[in-house]
Chain A
């Protein structure tokens, strides 16, 4: 008998060693070009914070790979006929600190994001909430002052993350020590260097396959590519355009190209003479070959003709992108009485080399129709305060508007002087405001469509289009995906083959 036991022990030890060996191979390293400012989901609007936060936190609902909103921490939900009450049945889940997730956490989380003291940049998305009422531990009803069809989208976005009520009451520092229910826990964070996440074995949807995820902050795409080709990185979130073919042709690597949620535009300041004339703004749209802009500056994408990402169910069928027609543009400019020495200040944000390059291409096209664009490059903080906000000291500027799950997020403010383009159209503003509080999906769709068609005609922007989201990975990495529109990293099913 004894003789038999020994080999069994040895086998067990060998098995344990083997498991140990595979576990160490289960660390995935990803290079990310931006980095989070904080990991507290309620005090930031930075995409990078939500890209990482997706692994640490969960919301009541989430976005699946097809872009639909599906239950997550909520097992199911129902909406009252008047659209004023959302009831969520909650799943059994556990926070990283061991406490159980229940209705009190939903109450406390939504209470905090709406609280004035939190000063959340996303607070306005929750202002229609009048009360959050627990029905026992595992159900909760959110009551609204007016129908808010965008509520589910807000709850499915990174800032809808559920936080533990006990820790909220203590005033816990979620920014540096996040505690969520997510598939991974924060193991370490060295700012400007890396975040290490470790597997949450108790994850309510089942533990993820990977033992560890290391997210390295590498702003230089050339260094990212270098790391992918030497094997240092398993996934890189940006592939330099010059290297995309090399990644594609390398059998050990894979290039993933899928639509992003961005709308790239050149915003036109309609507060200025001539630019306040819709004919001139339409002429500028015709003067620029946006296909070339997308191809050269952004690595390819799909043109759009209004302020909605390509492929969106909200994109009105009747809107086609402006055709590139410099002759017609010249004629329109002449009709509008634009002088031959017309000069526009074209302000481009640093450090966004793609927008800067796009601006330079626009400058060339405008010169061909007799419009002189003077490029001025400003730092991002200056851009936000002087161009996008405040004095709006620009004639034209290039920027990308990130994807939103609900059109209200993208469109609110358009048609009013609050928008940086300053194209005031009360009807547009009204359609959007009404659609934002309309429950009936068909009605909503038609209101947004009307607005988007008018936005095409008003042309507050030169509409470039929606760029492809291009990232690279080792061919053996499977199960990793990025959330449609939100670009969050989802490592839950990721593993090596």
Chain B
């Protein structure tokens, strides 16, 4: 994921803050480019290893072999694999993601159209899993063995054991079908509007539940660890109020969950693919599944680039956040 050594190690080698930062950025950028190249190559080859191409599928049952090959030529699929690969890489290097074979418009337009739904669901899910996870973990960890801790344990066990689409169906049955609070179908015909964004609450909760459980587990463990440290005992023995002690525990233990949160956030993007299917949402998940079915190579590759970029950016952000929240990692 990251090729860098920790900032503390850098500091020990006697580098200035500016050197540490620029080194960090350089290594991260190189690692990003290599990751992106490797993933793109993999996706490029995997898609082409699948039998059938966009022309075969567009031609369907009726087009003759000669019509299909005419379509193939028109879509540029008749060129040799290395030629297609080199053109594609050089286009991507110049910021051109190509055009969708199925939608016949730039991939960037496709992504810009579809991203808002996925980003909204993912961000809502992130906030929910953060609040729910940290809250549960902290409260459970402060009174281990208590009633709340047991309830939280039950929740995390169930949430981690069951697949997320199961929660999706359950929520749909309960809140959409039985209670009628939410529409059965994800979004209104116009797609994502401000007024309709609350429709995304059920998918966001579905996505958040297993992630909240994971965050809660880690947060609880950190809190337990922190609880038994000397300064807590000292603080308690000096008669500090419990909430003040809890505040210290929280501020010292919760930053340790940030790397996990970052991983979760990266995973949210892929997690939405399943959840979008369950809720019939027109986001990136539906886009990539449709594109794989249609052998729309440029779109599959475009979504991949987007996913890798978001994943890497989130991890950078997590590294930075960790430095900001953990004074031990600061250079000066």
Judging by beta carbons under 8 Å apart, are B56 and A389 in contact? Answer: yes
Judging by beta carbons under 8 Å apart, are A380 and B293 in contact? Answer: yes
The B interface is mostly helix, strand or loop, or mixed, namely: loop
Q: Is B92 an interface residue (CB 8 A)?
A: no
A46 to chain B minimum Cβ distance, whole angstroms, is 7
Q: Is A334 an interface residue (CB 8 A)?
A: no
Judging by beta carbons under 8 Å apart, are B63 and A121 in contact? Answer: yes
Contact residues of B between 256 and 276, Cβ < 8 Å to A? none
Judging by beta carbons under 8 Å apart, are A176 and B103 in contact? Answer: yes
**Residue in B60, B63, B190 whose beta carbon sits within 8 Å of that of A196 in the complex:** B190
Judging by beta carbons under 8 Å apart, are B294 and A37 in contact? Answer: yes
Q: Is B226 an interface residue (CB 8 A)?
A: no
CA distance A51 to B80 in the complex (A): 36
Decide: A188 near B103, CB < 8 A? Known: A45-B60, A116-B70, A223-B185.
no
CA distance A231 to B80 in the complex (A): 53
Q: Is B111 an interface residue (CB 8 A)?
A: no
Judging by beta carbons under 8 Å apart, are A38 and B189 in contact? Answer: no
A482 to chain B minimum Cβ distance, whole angstroms, is 20
Residues of A within 8 A of B281 (CB): 192-193
Decide: A119 near B71, CB < 8 A? Known: A218-B280, A384-B57, A402-B61.
yes
Closest Cβ neighbor of A40 among chain B residues: B104
Closest Cβ neighbor of A31 among chain B residues: B185
Q: Mark A354-385, 1 if CB is under 8 A from B, else 0.
A: 00000000000000000000000001111011
Residues of A within 8 A of B73 (CB): 119
Q: Is B315 an interface residue (CB 8 A)?
A: no
Residues of A within 8 A of B282 (CB): 190-193
Closest Cβ neighbor of A190 among chain B residues: B191
Closest Cβ neighbor of A409 among chain B residues: B62
Contact residues of A between 184 and 217, Cβ < 8 Å to B? 188, 190-196, 214, 216
Decide: A388 near B61, CB < 8 A? Known: A121-B67, A223-B280.
yes
Judging by beta carbons under 8 Å apart, are A192 and B184 in contact? Answer: no
Judging by beta carbons under 8 Å apart, are A45 and B58 in contact? Answer: yes
Of the listed stretches B8-16, B45-53, B130-138, chain A binds: B45-53
Judging by beta carbons under 8 Å apart, are A188 and B190 in contact? Answer: yes
CA distance A487 to B112 in the complex (A): 33
Contact residues of B between 65 and 102, Cβ < 8 Å to A? 65-68, 70-71, 73-75, 102
CA distance A381 to B114 in the complex (A): 24
Decide: A381 near B57, CB < 8 A? Known: A119-B71, A123-B67.
yes
Decide: A117 near B74, CB < 8 A? Known: A43-B104, A192-B290, A193-B186.
yes
Q: Is A83 an interface residue (CB 8 A)?
A: no
Judging by beta carbons under 8 Å apart, are B60 and A121 in contact? Answer: yes
Residues of A within 8 A of B294 (CB): 37, 381
Residues of A within 8 A of B156 (CB): none
CA distance A409 to B60 in the complex (A): 13
Judging by beta carbons under 8 Å apart, are B70 and A119 in contact? Answer: yes
CA distance A38 to B189 in the complex (A): 18
Residues of A within 8 A of B295 (CB): 381
Residues of B within 8 A of A190 (CB): 187, 189-191, 282
Decide: A37 near B102, CB < 8 A? Known: A192-B286, A380-B57, A382-B51.
yes
- Interface size for A (C-beta < 8 A) is 53
Q: Mark B274-308, 1 if CB is under 8 A from A, else 0.
A: 00000011100011001001110000000000000
Judging by beta carbons under 8 Å apart, are B177 and A226 in contact? Answer: yes
Judging by beta carbons under 8 Å apart, are A176 and B104 in contact? Answer: yes
CA distance A214 to B186 in the complex (A): 15
Q: Is A418 an interface residue (CB 8 A)?
A: yes
Judging by beta carbons under 8 Å apart, are A381 and B189 in contact? Answer: no
Judging by beta carbons under 8 Å apart, are B58 and A381 in contact? Answer: no
Residues of A within 8 A of B71 (CB): 119, 121
**Residue in A216, A227, A401 whose beta carbon sits within 8 Å of that of B189 in the complex:** A216
CA distance A409 to B62 in the complex (A): 8
Decide: A399 near B52, CB < 8 A? Known: A196-B190, A379-B293.
no
Closest Cβ neighbor of A223 among chain B residues: B184
Q: Is A316 an interface residue (CB 8 A)?
A: no
Judging by beta carbons under 8 Å apart, are A232 and B183 in contact? Answer: yes
Residues of B within 8 A of A124 (CB): 64, 66-67
Judging by beta carbons under 8 Å apart, are A123 and B104 in contact? Answer: no
A375 to chain B minimum Cβ distance, whole angstroms, is 18
Residues of A within 8 A of B177 (CB): 226
Q: Is A175 an interface residue (CB 8 A)?
A: yes
Q: Mark A45-59, 1 if CB is under 8 A from B, else 0.
A: 110000000000000
**Residue in B59, B103, B191 whose beta carbon sits within 8 Å of that of A38 in the complex:** B103
Decide: A232 near B185, CB < 8 A? Known: A124-B67, A190-B282.
yes
CA distance A386 to B57 in the complex (A): 12
**Residue in B50, B58, B105 whose beta carbon sits within 8 Å of that of A43 in the complex:** B58
CA distance A53 to B51 in the complex (A): 30
Q: Is B113 an interface residue (CB 8 A)?
A: yes
CA distance A218 to B52 in the complex (A): 26
Closest Cβ neighbor of B71 among chain A residues: A119
B119 to chain A minimum Cβ distance, whole angstroms, is 16
Judging by beta carbons under 8 Å apart, are B105 and A176 in contact? Answer: yes
Judging by beta carbons under 8 Å apart, are B104 and A175 in contact? Answer: yes
B169 to chain A minimum Cβ distance, whole angstroms, is 11
CA distance A379 to B47 in the complex (A): 14
Q: Is A103 an interface residue (CB 8 A)?
A: no
Judging by beta carbons under 8 Å apart, are B185 and A218 in contact? Answer: yes
Contact residues of A between 437 and 459, Cβ < 8 Å to B? none
CA distance A88 to B60 in the complex (A): 31
**Residue in B61, B65, B67, B293 whose beta carbon sits within 8 Å of that of A381 in the complex:** B293
Known: A124-B67, A232-B184, A382-B51. 7 other contacts (CB 8 A): A116-B70, A193-B282, A232-B183, A381-B52, A381-B56, A384-B56, A389-B68
* Closest 9 A/B residue pairs (Cβ): A385-B52, A381-B52, A194-B189, A190-B191, A119-B74, A192-B282, A121-B63, A193-B282, A192-B286
Question: Which residues of A pack against B, CB within 8 Å?
Answer: 29, 37-38, 40, 43-46, 116-124, 173, 175-176, 188, 190-196, 214, 216, 218, 220, 223, 226-227, 230, 232, 379-382, 384-386, 388-390, 399, 401-402, 409, 413, 418
Could you list some 5 contacts between A and B, CB below 8 A?
A37-B58, A123-B70, A176-B104, A188-B189, A223-B185
